[in-house]
Amino acid sequence: MATVVGGLGISHTPSMGVEHDAYRRTGEFTPRWQPWFDGTRRLRELLAGLSADHLVVVYNDHLNHFDLDNLPTIAIGIGDTFPQADEGWGRRPLPDLDGDPEWGIHLAESLVASEFDLTICHDLHVDHGIYSWLPYVMDVPWPTPITPIAVNMVRAPLPTANRIRQLGVAIRSAVESASRAERVVVVATGGMSHQISGGRFGIANEGLDRWFLDRLPDGLEDLMKIPVTEYMRVGGTEAAELSLWFAMRAALSASATAAYRFQTFPFITGCGALLMVEP
Nearest Cα to 72, choosing from 168, 153, 152, 160? Answer: 152
Nearest Cα to 12, choosing from 234, 268, 277, 211? Answer: 268
| Contact (CB, 8 A) for 114 and 170 | yes
194 assigned to active site: yes
SS3 151: strand
Nearest Cα to 271, choosing from 256, 261, 258, 260? Answer: 261
Say which of 20, 62, 125, 194 is annotated catalytic: 194
SS3 40: helix
Q: How many CB atoms lie within 10 A of CB 197?
A: 9
Distance CA 190, CA 133 (A): 11
Q: For residue 209, what are the CA distances in angstroms to 47, 140, 252, 257?
A: 21, 29, 21, 19
128 assigned to active site: yes
As annotated, the active-site residues are: 128, 194
